Amino acid sequence: HSSSKGSHKHSSKESKKELAQRRSSMYQNQPASNEPTAYGAAFRSEGVAASEARHQAKAAENIARIMSQYGGK
Protein backbone atom coordinates (compact mmCIF):
# COMPACT_ATOMS: atom_id res chain seq x y z
CA HIS A 1 0.00 0.00 0.00
CA SER A 2 3.06 2.27 -0.16
CA SER A 3 2.30 5.31 -2.33
CA SER A 4 6.00 6.23 -2.52
CA LYS A 5 6.52 3.40 -5.02
CA GLY A 6 5.57 4.95 -8.38
CA SER A 7 5.66 1.75 -10.43
CA HIS A 8 2.07 1.88 -11.69
CA LYS A 9 0.35 4.97 -12.98
CA HIS A 10 -3.09 4.85 -11.34
CA SER A 11 -4.14 3.55 -7.95
CA SER A 12 -6.24 0.40 -7.57
CA LYS A 13 -8.99 2.60 -6.10
CA GLU A 14 -9.18 4.54 -9.36
CA SER A 15 -9.25 1.45 -11.56
CA LYS A 16 -11.91 -0.12 -9.33
CA LYS A 17 -14.06 2.99 -9.78
CA GLU A 18 -13.57 2.83 -13.55
CA LEU A 19 -14.53 -0.83 -13.54
CA ALA A 20 -17.70 -0.12 -11.56
CA GLN A 21 -18.64 2.70 -13.92
CA ARG A 22 -18.06 0.49 -16.96
CA ARG A 23 -20.12 -2.32 -15.42
CA SER A 24 -23.04 -0.04 -14.49
CA SER A 25 -23.06 1.60 -17.93
CA MET A 26 -23.00 -1.86 -19.51
CA TYR A 27 -26.15 -2.80 -17.58
CA GLN A 28 -27.80 0.55 -18.32
CA ASN A 29 -27.28 0.05 -22.07
CA GLN A 30 -29.25 -3.20 -21.94
CA PRO A 31 -33.02 -2.83 -22.48
CA ALA A 32 -34.85 -3.84 -19.29
CA SER A 33 -37.70 -5.36 -21.32
CA ASN A 34 -35.37 -7.79 -23.08
CA GLU A 35 -36.38 -11.02 -21.33
CA PRO A 36 -33.71 -13.37 -22.77
CA THR A 37 -30.96 -10.95 -21.71
CA ALA A 38 -32.40 -10.54 -18.22
CA TYR A 39 -32.84 -14.29 -17.86
CA GLY A 40 -29.33 -14.91 -19.13
CA ALA A 41 -27.87 -12.45 -16.63
CA ALA A 42 -29.79 -14.07 -13.75
CA PHE A 43 -28.74 -17.53 -14.87
CA ARG A 44 -25.10 -16.45 -15.21
CA SER A 45 -24.95 -14.92 -11.72
CA GLU A 46 -26.65 -18.03 -10.32
CA GLY A 47 -23.99 -20.19 -11.97
CA VAL A 48 -21.24 -18.07 -10.45
CA ALA A 49 -22.76 -18.40 -6.98
CA ALA A 50 -23.10 -22.17 -7.43
CA SER A 51 -19.48 -22.58 -8.55
CA GLU A 52 -18.31 -20.40 -5.65
CA ALA A 53 -20.24 -22.59 -3.22
CA ARG A 54 -18.69 -25.67 -4.80
CA HIS A 55 -15.20 -24.17 -4.43
CA GLN A 56 -15.88 -23.34 -0.77
CA ALA A 57 -17.10 -26.88 -0.12
CA LYS A 58 -13.99 -28.32 -1.76
CA ALA A 59 -11.77 -25.98 0.26
CA ALA A 60 -13.51 -27.04 3.49
CA GLU A 61 -12.98 -30.67 2.48
CA ASN A 62 -9.27 -30.06 1.90
CA ILE A 63 -8.93 -28.27 5.24
CA ALA A 64 -10.68 -31.14 7.04
CA ARG A 65 -8.37 -33.67 5.35
CA ILE A 66 -5.26 -31.66 6.27
CA MET A 67 -6.45 -31.22 9.85
CA SER A 68 -7.06 -34.96 10.21
CA GLN A 69 -3.66 -35.75 8.69
CA TYR A 70 -1.67 -33.36 10.86
CA GLY A 71 -3.97 -33.38 13.88
CA GLY A 72 -2.09 -36.38 15.28
CA LYS A 73 -5.22 -38.52 15.68
Q: Is the pLDDT of residue 62 over 70?
A: yes
Number of C-beta neighbours around residue 37 at 10 A: 13
| Dist. CA 49–CA 44, nearest whole Å | 9
Domain ranges of the chain: 34-73
Q: How far apart are CA 73 and CA 60, in angstroms?
A: 19
Q: Are 31 and 37 in contact (CB under 8 A)?
A: yes
Q: Is the pLDDT of residue 70 over 80?
A: yes
Report the first-to-last Cα separation within the chain, whole angstroms.
42
Banded model confidence at residue 48, pLDDT cuts 50, 70, 90? confident
Confidence of residue 60 (pLDDT cuts 50, 70, 90): very high
Percent of the chain with pLDDT strictly greater than 70: 47
